[in-house]
Amino acid sequence: MKHAFLCLTLFAAVAAWSLPAAYADSSAKMTKEEKRAAKEAKKEEKRAAKEAKKAERDAKKADREGDKDVKEAEKEEAEAKKVEKKAVVKAAKKLKLIQAGKISGSTKYLFYYHTNSALSISEENLDVLVEQSKKMKAAKIAILLISHDADNSNALKFYKDHKANFPAVKAGDESLEEMPGYSANGSAPHVTIVDNTGKQIADGDGTLIENWKEYTVDADKDDDKDED
């Protein structure tokens, strides 16, 4: 009986010792699994961060390339506008003038004025044009005389007598056909106003000369500067 009790006590003691040890082993195994999971999670986090940085770099690169394309497009557009604004000046270089003169590269508007020395109204309009020419020049407005005289010498004397020292060409000259905004339908006296691209601003009789400020955007500002 004593022997049986001793065995039972010993069994209980071993059981009491082995249960906490087993629980400890189990806890230790879970901790390792948790550490492994945490390590994997950290790796995944690093991979995600790396991919996010790559995506950010790619986006910035795309933005830079996009900005570059936009700048190139803007540059091309600016160059095209620059060329367009020189259309009148460029074409004017090919004119076969009967009276020398130059259309400046800074020209904003061009007045085509058809003249005929035989018409008194043409003479009156020319006097107004000469009178206004200083202010028009300050407003970057150029003048091109188009003679309808049969004889160039008559036209030149007409211009000289009225101090109309503007470039002049004979009506019907082929070089006029290349001038932007020029219309061969004009008869003397007749005025056509175009901007530096050749876009027509106004077309009519000599009264346009007196009212030139109404048709030129910057004329009033330039005129005010002159008066100051």
pLDDT digits (tens, 9 = 90+) for 19-74: 455 444 544 556 888 788 788 888 888 888 888 888 888 888 888 877 665 555 45
Q: Does 186 map to a domain?
A: yes
**Domain around 130:** 87-227
Q: Does 43 map to a domain?
A: no
Which three-class secondary structure state does DSSP give residue 151?
Answer: coil
pLDDT on residue 69: 59
Q: Does 108 map to a domain?
A: yes
pLDDT on residue 224: 47
Q: Does 109 map to a domain?
A: yes
Q: Does 2 map to a domain?
A: no
What 8-state DSSP symbol labels residue 147? Answer: E
pLDDT on residue 35: 80
Q: Which residues contact 164 (CB under 8 A, 6 or more apart)?
A: 126, 129, 130, 145, 158
Q: How far apart are CA 155 and CA 188, in angstroms?
A: 12
Higher pLDDT, 77 or 114: 114
Q: Does 189 map to a domain?
A: yes
Structure tokens at 218: 């910057």
Picking from 141, 131, 152, 155, the residue whose alpha carbon sits closest to that of residue 192 is 141
Q: Which residues contact 189 (CB under 8 A, 6 or more apart)?
A: 113, 114, 115, 116, 119, 121, 122, 125, 205, 206
pLDDT on residue 78: 46
The band of 145, judged by pLDDT with boundaries at 50, 70 and 90, is very high
Q: Does 53 map to a domain?
A: no
| Ranges 103-117, 128-142, 153-167, 171-185: which has the least confidence | 171-185
Q: Does 64 map to a domain?
A: no
CATH number for the domain including 178?
A: 3.40.30.10
Higher pLDDT, 225 or 160: 160
Picking from 91, 154, 90, the residue whose alpha carbon sits closest to that of residue 122 is 154
Residue 108 in contact with residue 143, Cβ under 8 Å? no
Mean pLDDT confidence for 89-118: 90
Judged on CB neighbours under 10 Å (0-12, 13-18, 19+), 58 is exposed
The band of 172, judged by pLDDT with boundaries at 50, 70 and 90, is confident
Mean pLDDT confidence for 183-203: 86
Q: How many domains does the chain have?
A: 1
Main-chain dihedrals φ then ψ at residue 217, nearest 5 degrees:
-55, -45
Could you identify the residue written with the tokens 């009967």?
98
